Amino acid sequence: MGYDCKIYLVNKTDVSLESDDGLVFSEVIAMFDLCKMDYNGAYHKLVKEAKPTNCYIYADDGDTKITTDNYGDKLKELPFLELLAALKKDNTGYRRVMPLIAMLAMFKIEKDKWPDLTILHYGH
């Protein structure tokens, strides 16, 4: 059993407008749809322990502000190295895991070019 989730890689800014309720705007760099991850795996353990983020993103329409996922839970920040480790642990052949590991590895190599990179979990 599992539940659908997306990973958003965002560039977190320090832009906060009065109407943003103290949240800061984050620009989406990439989105990866993991679809259904094992609910008892390392990824979901990491998500359960993750803290809500202080940022928001906009949906593809550019107008809809996203602060919560489809379940009504606040977006959560996932620590980069812990996410990479959890995905490697959960890599038991599910075809969506390895491409995300590869993408994250590229961002790890280029980390000096992405100093404000933040990873968000979104359940759907």
pLDDT of residue 86: 97
User: Residue 51 burial (CB < 10 Å; 0-12/13-18/19+)?
Assistant: exposed
Q: Which pLDDT score, from 0 to 100, does residue 64 have?
A: 94
pTM for the complete prediction?
0.93
Q: Please report whether residue 120 resides in a domain.
A: no
Please state the rounded mean pLDDT for residues 1-25: 87
Residue 124 lies in a domain: no
Name residue, tokens 């759907």: 124
Residue 6 to residue 77: CA distance in whole angstroms: 12
- Using a pLDDT cut of 70, give the percent of the chain over it: 98
The predicted pLDDT at position 65 comes to: 94
Q: Does 121 fall in a domain?
A: no
Which structural domain, as residue segments, surrounds residue 93?
A: 2-113
Structural domain contains residue 123: no
Q: How many CA atoms lie within 13 A of 1 on its CB side?
A: 1
- Domain for residue 122, yes or no? no
Q: What is the number of structural domains in the chain? A: 1
Tokens standing for residue 120: 């968000």
How would residue 41 be classed by pLDDT, with cut points 50, 70 and 90? very high
